[in-house]
Amino acid sequence: MSALKKGLKYAPSPQSMPFADSVCGVERAAHKMPSEIAEEIRRETSRILPKSKQPTSNMTRADDYLRELLNDPHLVVLPADKGNAAVITERADYSAKIRLMLEEKTYKKLS
């Protein structure tokens, strides 16, 4: 339950600092700036990045269970209609409900 409460937008923290991505992002932004400002930003980035701490993990044991649920071929995990919640259902039940909905007269097959 604790893993599901995090919602479908939950993302685990990276296991290591993405230095290359950080430098690329700074360089992309600096490229559009006047050269003096861009150089100052590059110097500041090269001073700060080596001192950056490795990210602390936001993963719990419950997250392992969530990963198992998401990878289970017999289950479907979907966003709920309201809120940032998840719905877990059997894949066979979900497929049957979809087939029933598609058989209704509300929908028609397009060419």
Which DSSP category does 70 fall into? H
Domain boundaries, the chain: 14-58, 60-111
The distance in angstroms from the start CA to the end CA of the chain is: 44
Q: Look up residue 18 and give its two tokens.
A: 């993405």
Examine the pLDDT at 4 and tell me if it is beyond 90: no
Percent over 90 (pLDDT), the chain: 29
pLDDT for res 3: 66
pLDDT single digits (tens) 19-62:
888 889 999 999 889 999 999 999 998 888 877 777 777 666 76
State if pTM tops 0.85.
no
Beta strands per DSSP E along the chain: 75-79, 86-90
Provide the pLDDT confidence category of residue 102 given band limits of 50, 70 and 90. confident
